[in-house]
Chain A
């Protein structure tokens, strides 16, 4: 089955920084990838779908790119509200595997 690997597992950054999180798939998933943000005790929030499409209501500082096996989520200028855990998810197969998560901390 398809495995998803995120890097880094933890990322330390400051307000205003530009940060990038990488997600790699063990097999090609075309552009069938989503990114989610999760804060402690809360359900995940959809940020990006189809690798690069911004979900309605999500700030434009979030962007996604990639296809095939390598994908990135970029936050252009970190805001205090962005410190959270981020997950990628492939949905080309029923397994719907998530990456292990990237914790973005101050």
Chain B
């Protein structure tokens, strides 16, 4: 059974960089048929797609966040990561890592989510 787990600081100061890691277990991140994605959800609000990466390193970012986002992959550790620069209070959210299947497009496995608060 594939499992994903987010980890990282729960509190980040304004203007600093938010960094999260997603550890994948029960399967290999080096699958041709999988993308590895980040999605966020501000408290009480809807879902926002951040972007995704293939193990080959190809990345795809949402235009609204593209200038501040970097997603990278470490196949040796079966992990992928998210960096979001110059954060503000508007970046406070639950951040989910997830798997998107290349052939179907559906996001079928999700982490439990990590709340990141931006505050001084």
Which residues of A are interface residues toward B (Cβ below 8 A)?
1, 32, 34, 36, 38, 43-46, 48-50, 53, 55, 87, 89, 91, 94-101
Known interface pairs A43-B113, A49-B105, A50-B105; A97-B46 also in contact (CB < 8 Å): no
Contact indicator B49/A95 (Cβ below 8 Å): yes
Partner of A89, one of B49, B51, B111: B49
Which residues of B are interface residues toward A (Cβ below 8 A)?
37, 39, 46-49, 51-52, 60-64, 96, 98, 100-101, 104-108, 110-113
Chain A interface SS verdict (over half): loop
Partner of B104, one of A50, A89, A95, A100: A50
Nearest CB on A from B79, distance (A): 18
Known interface pairs A44-B47, A95-B49, A98-B49; A55-B62 also in contact (CB < 8 Å): no
Closest to A99 in B: B46
Residues of B with C-beta under 8 A to A46: 106-108
Bound: A96/B113 CA distance, A: 19
